[in-house]
Amino acid sequence: MKKLIVTSVFATSLAALSAFAVGLSSPVLAGDEKYFVTIDTVGMCSVVLDIPGTELSAGKKALGNADGYATMEDAKAYLDGIKDEKCEGVVVG
């Protein structure tokens, strides 16, 4: 019986420690996000949180900084500056 209780306490402690570690790593992962200004095959521009040409942004090409922008605001500022010249329209989402 004592062995079962110790195992249960250990498992609970391990689960709590794992949840704590995941919680600490989340802001770090968010800091690695990059925003891309893209144009699709019909000329519609947008800001996406995915590298152009991958699953969520297939068929889109990057405009501006090909390495991405650190913030959504930076990407939107670039898009505001080029949308009348390069885009048929802007997809907001």
Angstrom distance (rounded) from CA 83 to CA 66: 17
18 and 52 assigned to the same domain: no
Same domain, yes or no: 2 and 45: no
Instruction: Provide the number of structural domains found in the chain.
Output: 2
CA nearest to 36, candidates 25, 22, 56, 50: 50
pLDDT of residue 90: 95
Q: Note whether 41 and 25 are same-domain residues.
A: no
Q: Which domain holds residue 63?
A: 36-90
Q: How far apart are CA 50 and CA 68, in angstroms?
A: 9
Same domain, yes or no, for 44 and 82?
Answer: yes
The Cα–Cα gap between 10 and 27 comes to 27
Residues 45, 78 share a domain: yes
Segment-wise mean pLDDT, segments of 10 residues, the chain, 93 residues? 47 44 43 88 92 76 93 96 95 80
User: What's the pLDDT at 2?
Assistant: 52
Please give the structure tokens belonging to residue 51: 């590298």
Q: Does 40 share its domain with 59?
A: yes
Quote the pLDDT of residue 73.
95
Q: Are residues 43 and 73 in the same domain?
A: yes
At 12, is the secondary structure helix, strand, or coil?
helix
* Together in a domain, 60 and 80: yes
- What would the pLDDT profile of 18-29 be if each residue is shown by its tens digit? 444 444 444 434
Residues 60 and 17 in one domain: no
Three-state SS sequence of 56-89: HHCCCEEECCCCCECCHHHHHHHHHHHHHHHCCE
Q: Round to whole Å and give the CA distance between 92 and 47.
A: 8
Quick one: 41 and 58 in the same domain?
yes
- CB count within 10 Å of CB 53 equals 13
Same domain, 65 and 21: no
Identify the pLDDT of residue 3: 52
Q: What is the pLDDT of residue 88?
A: 96
